[in-house]
């Protein structure tokens, strides 16, 4: 599904590469943890897959299409196949929970009737039924992240990309969120999570890709967080 | 996607854009009101200058059309031949022949008492026959006078040389001044709308970033701001047009009733006024749109 071929990314000419000569193959329906120390290149890798960033070298294929040559229309289609979840939730404080989730459908021009059906369903999936009218600042951190996840899944994307989704919540809430990601993955979506939460990684026994200084130094099925890194 | 699907998507999209524009204007209503107010003031001044320009032009034309060359003839002049030559000149709006008898009467009337000249009638009339020739504009009068002076039978020509030159000069200055001020005001108004939209965009910068992540097209993001700018521009322009319309109506009524001189008449031709008001409306809306487009361009790179 996702194929990265000799991918490198240098933000400023002359500086160290954020990602260096990465080769990865990710199949549909996989659940993957990206781990590694801060600055290892996890966020850059996620941005490269979502095509928020362009690689300096190499090719990234999504469903056999080269994403590095996408023009605006293909790029929009590509982004609409992804569901993004952020550490800081990135919810709009002036919008209600319902409006935040609906935005993901509105930007693709979905009809109001469909939005009215899909938004409550997505909120129910993340356990937030009945919170439609609340504003983000009326919710706990865990609940806000669930809204972020509902927004990511409401379009039923092929891939969920989550960058430190448990970084701003307590341990117990983090476990709840991981359960949610597993459920989403069981529904058929590929889930890629960049994280520092070693205990979650070790416990869930999923594929673990370890990065250091922009390079892939480990790639294990049913892997664990390498404490040395 | 079939064509019906595309149309439905477009309708949903426009519906969303309108809602967002309304929400944004109502959320930042004070800023929107101040911006619209500033546009109203700018366009009122601009419109005032335009109205002043067309009225000045009309006054100039009124004066110019009354400027004439007095062509004094000698006694041996062949009047039909001269008339033919004058008639064939370029730049003539009208001419008339005044024989010495009528010339004396006109002179008497200008003195206010025709009886004063009773002694000078008949053979004792010292005035020559003359043609009074009018040009289509003041600038042509000196050249016409020079040409006519060369015709056989013409003793001399006379016209308000100083006046004709002054009118041409003042008319040019006024036009340049009006155009200059109008351009400055238009640029200022675009800057104002731009500032309002920039603030609006800055407030919604986070939202724009999230929308880009969600796969929103640039036009999807741009259009609500564009509509917001157009709405601000339109509101400001309508206020300006109402103010100008009312003010100009009062001015026109006053001049029509109490104008002290014949040439000081307001422009009331609907074609001219409608053109000015439509141009202002178009300009106001364009300023709103342009201000928006320039302001949001740099925020769209995510």
Note the helical H segments in chain A.
42-49, 72-80, 97-106, 112-125, 141-153, 171-186, 198-204
CA nearest neighbour of A86 among A45, A31, A140, A144 = A144
Residue B280 backbone dihedrals phi, psi, to 5 degrees: -65, -40
The whole-angstrom distance between A189's CA and the closest CA on chain B is: 17
Task: Tell which CATH architecture fits domain B68-159.
Answer: 2-Layer Sandwich (3.30)
Give me the mean pLDDT over the B95-105 stretch.
85
**Quick check: A104 and B214 CB within 8 A?**
yes
Task: With H, G, I as helix, E, B as strand and everything else as coil, classify residue B133.
Answer: strand
CB pairs under 8 A between A and B: 53
Interface-testing mutation among B5, B215, B221, B223, with chain A (most A C-beta atoms within 10 A)? B215
Determine the Cα–Cα distance for residues A202 and A220; give it in Å rounded to an integer: 12
pLDDT at position A194: 96
Domain spans, chain A: 89-156
**What residues of chain A have any CB closer than 8 angstroms to a CB in chain B?**
50, 52, 72, 76-80, 82, 84, 90, 92, 94, 103-104, 106-112, 151
**Cβ contact, residue pair A79, B213, below 8 Å:** yes
The mean pLDDT of A176-203, rounded to a whole number, is 93
The whole-number average pLDDT for the span A149-166 is 95
- A151: closest CA of chain B, how far (Å): 9
Query: What's the confidence (pLDDT) of residue B126?
Result: 83
- Of the candidates A78, A92, A108, the beta carbon closest to that of B210 is on A92
Structure-model confidence comparison of residues B295 and A156, the more confident one: A156
Nearest Cα to Cα of residue B73 among B147, B159, B154? B154
Interface contact B218-A72, CB threshold 8 A: yes
Question: What average pLDDT does this structure show over A39-44?
Answer: 94
Taking an 8 Å Cβ-Cβ cutoff, which residues of chain B contact chain A?
A: 8-10, 12-13, 15-16, 27, 206-207, 209-211, 213-218, 220, 302
Q: Is the pLDDT of residue A51 over 90?
A: yes
Give A104's contacts in chain B (Cβ within 8 Å).
214
Cross-chain Cβ contact B214/A103 below 8 Å: yes
What pLDDT is attached to residue B302? Answer: 43
Closest CA to B197 of B300, B285, B295: B295
Instruction: Verify whether the Cβ–Cβ distance A79 to B209 is below 8 Å.
Output: no
What pLDDT, in 10s, does the model give residues A59-97?
A: 999 999 999 999 988 999 999 899 999 999 999 988 899
Strands, E assignment, A11-64: 19-26, 31-35, 57-62
Question: Which of B214, B219, B224, B300 to probe by mutation at the A interface, max A CB count within 10 Å?
Answer: B214
Q: How far is CA B297 from the centre of its chain?
A: 34
Residues of A in contact with B8 (CB under 8 A): 109, 111
Q: Strands A57-62 and A31-35: what pairing?
A: unpaired
pLDDT tens across B189-213, in order? Answer: 677 767 777 777 777 788 888 888 8
Least confident of A208-222, B14-28, B65-79: B14-28
What is the C-alpha separation between B218 and A113, in angstroms, rounded?
25
Name the token pair of B28.
Answer: 């930042």
Q: CA of B18 to nearest chain A CA: how many angstroms apart?
A: 13
Mean confidence (pLDDT) of chain A: 93
Q: Among A79, A92, A111, select the one facing B215 at the smallest CB separation.
A: A79
* Encoded tokens for B121: 């009638």
CB atoms within 10 A of CB B210: 23
pLDDT tens digit sequence for B15-33:
777 887 787 777 778 877 8
The minimum CA-CA distance between A203 and chain B, rounded to whole Å, is 31
Could you tell me the pLDDT band of residue A163, with boundaries at 50, 70 and 90? Answer: very high
- Residue A1 confidence (pLDDT): 93
pLDDT band at A57 (very low <50, low <70, confident <90, very high): very high
pLDDT at A4 over 90: yes
Q: What is the pairing mode between strands A31-35 and A190-194?
A: parallel
Is 70 exceeded by the pLDDT of residue B74?
A: yes
Q: How many residues does chain B have?
A: 302
Alpha-helical (H) ranges within B137-160 are 141-149
ipTM over cut 0.95: no
Q: Residues B105-127: what's their mean pLDDT? A: 75
Contact call for A151 and B209, based on CB within 8 A = no
Q: Do A92 and B207 touch (CB under 8 A)?
A: yes
Q: Do A107 and B211 touch (CB under 8 A)?
A: yes
SS3 B134: strand
Residue spans of alpha helices (H) in A62-140: 72-80, 97-106, 112-125
pLDDT 10s digits, B225-268: 888 888 888 888 999 999 999 999 998 888 888 776 666 778 88
Between B297 and A61, name the one with better pLDDT: A61
| Residues of B whose CB is below 8 A from A50 | 213
Whether B211 and A103 lie within 8 Å, measured CB to CB: yes
Whether pLDDT at B173 is above 50 = yes
Q: A47-51, A182-186, B131-135, B284-288: lowest mean pLDDT where?
A: B284-288
Q: How would residue A228 be classed by pLDDT, with cut points 50, 70 and 90?
A: very low
Nearest chain A residue to B302 by CA distance is A52
């Amino acid at each position: 599904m996702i194929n990265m071929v000799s991918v490198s990314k240098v933000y400023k000419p002359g500086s160290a590469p954020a990602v260096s000569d990465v080769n990865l193959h990710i199949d549909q329906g996989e659940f993957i943890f990206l781990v590694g120390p801060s600055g290892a290149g996890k966020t850059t890798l996620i941005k490269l897959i979502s095509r928020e960033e362009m690689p300096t070298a190499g090719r990234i294929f999504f469903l056999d299409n080269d994403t590095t040559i996408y023009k605006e229309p293909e790029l929009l289609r590509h982004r609409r196949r992804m569901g993004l979840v952020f550490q800081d939730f990135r919810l709009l404080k002036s919008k209600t929970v319902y409006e935040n989730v609906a935005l993901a459908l509105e930007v693709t021009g979905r009809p109001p009737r469909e939005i009215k059906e899909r938004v409550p369903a997505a909120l129910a999936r993340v356990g937030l039924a009945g919170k439609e009218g609340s504003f983000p600042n009326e919710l706990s951190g865990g609940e806000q992240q669930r809204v972020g996840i509902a927004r990511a899944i409401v379009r039923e994307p092929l891939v969920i990309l989550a960058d430190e989704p448990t970084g701003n919540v307590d341990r117990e809430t983090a476990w709840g969120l991981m359960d949610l990601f597993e459920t989403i993955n069981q529904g058929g979506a590929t889930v890629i999570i960049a994280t520092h939460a070693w205990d979650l990684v070790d416990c869930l026994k999923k594929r673990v890709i370890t990065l250091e200084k922009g390079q892939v130094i480990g790639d294990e099925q049913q892997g664990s967080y390498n404490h040395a890194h | 996607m079939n064509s019906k699907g595309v149309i439905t998507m477009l309708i949903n999209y426009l519906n969303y854009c309108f809602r967002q524009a309304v929400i944004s204007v109502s959320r930042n209503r004070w800023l929107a009101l101040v911006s619209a107010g500033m546009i109203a003031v700018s366009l009122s001044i601009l419109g005032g200058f335009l109205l002043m320009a067309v009225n000045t032009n009309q006054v100039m034309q009124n004066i110019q059309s009354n400027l004439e060359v007095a062509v004094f003839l000698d006694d041996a002049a062949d009047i039909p031949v001269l008339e033919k030559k004058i008639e064939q000149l370029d730049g003539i709006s009208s001419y008339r022949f005044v024989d010495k008898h009528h010339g004396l009467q006109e002179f008497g009337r200008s003195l206010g008492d025709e009886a004063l000249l009773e002694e000078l009638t008949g053979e004792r009339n010292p005035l020559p026959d003359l043609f009074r020739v009018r040009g289509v504009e003041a600038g042509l009068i000196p050249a016409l006078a020079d040409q006519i002076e060369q015709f056989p039978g013409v003793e001399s020509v006379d016209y308000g040389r100083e006046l004709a030159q002054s009118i041409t000069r003042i008319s040019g200055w006024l036009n340049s001044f009006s155009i200059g001020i109008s351009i400055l005001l238009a640029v200022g108004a675009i800057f104002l709308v731009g500032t309002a939209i920039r603030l609006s965009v800055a407030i919604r910068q986070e939202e724009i970033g999230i929308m880009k992540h969600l796969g929103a097209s640039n036009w999807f993001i741009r259009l609500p701001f564009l509509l917001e700018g157009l709405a601000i521009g339109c509101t400001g322009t309508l206020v300006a047009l109402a103010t100008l319309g009312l003010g100009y109506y009062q001015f026109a009524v006053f001049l029509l009733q109490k104008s002290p001189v014949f040439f000081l008449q307001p422009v009331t031709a609907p074609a001219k006024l409608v053109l000015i008001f439509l141009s202002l409306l178009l300009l106001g809306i364009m300023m709103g749109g342009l201000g928006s487009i320039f302001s949001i361009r740099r925020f769209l790179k995510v």
